[in-house]
Amino acid sequence: MIVALLVAGSVAGGLARDLALPAVIPKPQKMETGEGVFKLSAKSRICADRPSRATAEYLAERLRVVTGYPFKVASGKPDSDDILITTKDAHAALGDEGYELTVTSQSTAIRAVKQAGAFHGVQTLLQLLPPQAFAKTKVEGVAWELPAVQIEDQPRFKWRGMMLDVGRHFIPKEDVKRMIDAMALHKLNMFHWHLTEDQGWRIEIKKYPKLTEVGAWRASSPPYGNRNANDGQRHGGFYTQEEVKEVVAYAAARHITVVPEIEMPGHAAAAIASYPEFGNTDVPGFSPRVVTRWGVQPYTFAPREETFRFLEDVLTEVCALFPSKYIHIGGDEAPKTQWKQSACAQEAMKREGLKTEEELQSWFIRRIGKFLESKNRRLIGWDEIQEGGLPKTATMMVWRDAKWAKHALALGNDVVMATTSHTYLDYYQAKSESELARGNEFEAIGGFLPLEKVYSYNPAFVAENPAQEKQILGTQGQVWGEYVKDVNKAQYMAFPRVSALAEVAWTPQAHRNYQDFLRRLPTHLQRLDQMGVKYFKPEPTE
């Protein structure tokens, strides 16, 4: 089908030349093919300078698994069968994440200034091998050889991410690691871990054990296929701090930063069910529970000193676990109903001279932002954080509409483009009728976001000048969890749309071409097959 699409599509200018290139995703900035192949053998070693040693070990282990060759890591000069990874002679212009990969019939070398670049070079090198290079065990009968190429490559954007919502459905640590492996394949570098929700709090906080004793568990969930029903089954789970450290280290070894999200002031019902004293206790009918239905909930944190102390304590533990410069504090979909009803919230508004509840939210967020700054971190939040005034140093994650991006850019704030229009991976990727015909478990939240539309995204389209373009840090795909009950469904929703988005984020706009992406995709899907990733099989779209 993909081939048919390609033949039907018009062969654009540079495409004819691109057709001959190896199927690397995301497409490198510059790639030229040469003559011949470089053969790996039982004698091959990975030679690395000191800074490149860990990267060399990573590649060696990957190659050992599939080839069965010993692949020793060495520090000396490479012999004819060896692969070199080095920071020596790397052009400074490659930057923190760029690399140069040169394969001739005589030699293979990755040069990079920084190890993030060398690691991306390794991902490209693996993609030059047959797809069985992504298997989990030794594969016999494969010609382990690399085509001669000259690649110079670096990313367009510095924020290339994926968000995983584990609040709606808990996804165990080992499965999270599998998602991180698939991110590494795509040279993504930001894993946004959505850890708290109305329906579940997923991270152990030592000072507040009830957050996980109570907040990590709900009594029931809507089953697939009926949003207004109860399955009556207890659902939950959480990550201990040791498990969080393990995931953060696993990601760091793959040059991926884990950005934790702790939602406030809304999406907080599970936290408030655990510690009701931090909710708006003076509103009529106050009876917080870990929520058993989807959709926006009225429970918000109360704007009181005790609440700030609680949130600061939580964030102190979070900052100790996550080295990320950015800490995501949510900020989306916080209904103002309770603050309107709460005498205590209204008093806070009077005391602080705030005219609207939106200003109260901004005041709330500013306080948290100042606290994060005191820990040398930066606040990032969904675009609602600007509704009552945007803190100067806040980074905004735009999800609703480009107008929020334009507004933040005009104020001088940085932006990550995560709009529903092109990056919400909880939307259907084929027409809902065809998805649902396959069974209830294929239910999605709604919407329609086919692969081609993801690929057509240009996160910089909102920028009005080069300065604003620099304020756009990048983009990420959102795997929201209401209809994602396990890692298989997460993978189904994510891939290959994340493959398309990775190319959006990595490859210069002028070098991208959907027909050429489709040409490379079948090989890439074979890699995902080898990795055991349960992706959606793309269909022609209308």
Residues that bind ligand ACM (CB under 6 A): 332-333, 382, 399
Instruction: Compare residues 95 and 335 and give the one whose CB is closer to ligand ACM.
Output: 335
Instruction: Compare residues 288 and 331 and give the one whose CB is closer to ligand ACM.
Output: 331
The candidate with the shortest Cα–Cα distance to 344, out of 279, 295, 406, 253, is 279
| Residue 100 backbone dihedrals phi, psi, to 5 degrees | -120, 135
CB of 419 to ligand ACM, least distance (A): 10
Q: In whole angstroms, what is the distance from residue 399 CA to residue 125 CA?
A: 34
| Residue 539 backbone dihedrals phi, psi, to 5 degrees | -125, 160
Residue 68: exposure state from Cβ atoms within 10 A (0-12, 13-18, ≥19)? middle
246: left (phi over 0), alpha (psi -120 to 50) or beta: alpha
CB of 361 to ligand ACM, least distance (A): 14
Reported in sequence order, the residue ranges of 136-237 that DSSP labels E, i.e. its strands, are 145-153, 159-165, 190-194, 196-197, 200-201, 217-218, 235-236
Instruction: Compare residues 282 and 332 and give the one whose CB is closer to ligand ACM.
Output: 332
What's the chain's Rg over C-alpha atoms?
A: 24
CB of 282 to ligand ACM, least distance (A): 27
CB of 293 to ligand ACM, least distance (A): 16
Instruction: Compare residues 100 and 426 and give the one whose CB is closer to ligand ACM.
Output: 426
Tokens at 44, concatenated: 């091959």
CB of 446 to ligand ACM, least distance (A): 12
The candidate with the shortest Cα–Cα distance to 210, out of 284, 148, 270, 170, is 270
Instruction: Compare residues 402 and 437 and give the one whose CB is closer to ligand ACM.
Output: 402
The candidate with the shortest Cα–Cα distance to 419, out of 504, 355, 314, 356, is 504
Q: In whole angstroms, what is the distance from residue 219 CA to residue 233 CA?
A: 6
CB of 480 to ligand ACM, least distance (A): 7
Q: In whole angstroms, what is the distance from residue 471 CA to residue 412 CA?
A: 7
Instruction: Compare residues 299 and 382 and give the one whose CB is closer to ligand ACM.
Output: 382
- Cα distance from N-terminal residue to C-terminal residue, the chain: 13
CB of 166 to ligand ACM, least distance (A): 15
CB of 399 to ligand ACM, least distance (A): 4
Q: In whole angstroms, what is the distance from residue 329 CA to residue 382 CA?
A: 8
Instruction: Compare residues 243 and 333 and give the one whose CB is closer to ligand ACM.
Output: 333
CB of 333 to ligand ACM, least distance (A): 5
| Sequential DSSP letters for 191-219 | EEEE-EETTEE-B--TT-THHHHTTTEES
Q: Which residue is nearest to ligand ACM (CB)?
A: 332
Instruction: Compare residues 22 and 222 and give the one whose CB is closer to ligand ACM.
Output: 222
Quick check: helix, strand or coil at residue 62?
Answer: helix
Instruction: Compare residues 78 and 330 and give the one whose CB is closer to ligand ACM.
Output: 330
Instruction: Compare residues 58 and 399 and give the one whose CB is closer to ligand ACM.
Output: 399
CB of 409 to ligand ACM, least distance (A): 19
Tokens at 112, concatenated: 């990079």
